Amino acid sequence: GAVVSQHPSWVICKSGTSVKIECRSLDFQATTMFWYRQFPKQSLMLMATSNEGSKATYEQGVEKDKFLINHASLTLSTLTVTSAHPEDSSFYICSALYRSRDTYEQYFGPGTRLTVT
């Protein structure tokens, strides 16, 4: 199957700083990527849809100025958590949409654990 990587796998930052998380599709091009957030023992919550060459589409209740998404190439999307606070601590997972003529599927990255102190 297709491979999606995330970097870093975990990060600890101080309150008030910004953190950038990268999501890469390693063996296919993805015009669309997704960013999810997962709290402990909970399900995944879709934060935003990242579209190559255009603005991201954010889900209701997600602050676009706090969670900056850039999809500058067909294989890379980045999520920047700006002015992070302890309540932003979470597990962030990206996925890349693989599309062929007959089907499509989201391939997920391994996730990034963010801890804000």
Q: What is the DSSP letter of 31?
A: S
Instruction: Give the neighbor-by-neighbor strand order of the sheet with 67-73.
Output: 4-7, 19-25, 76-81, 67-73
Shortest Cβ 108–other proteins spacing (Å): 4
Tokens of 72: 């500058």
CB of 83 closer than 8 Å to CB of 97: no
Closest to other proteins by CB, 57 or 82: 57
Q: What is the DSSP letter of 82?
A: -
Shortest Cβ 12–other proteins spacing (Å): 15
Position 106 contacts other proteins (CB under 8 A): yes
Identify residues 38-77 at the interface with other proteins (CB under 8 A).
42-44, 46, 49
Residues that bind other proteins (CB under 8 A): 1, 4, 6, 32, 34, 42-44, 46, 49, 91, 93, 95, 97, 103-106, 108-111, 113
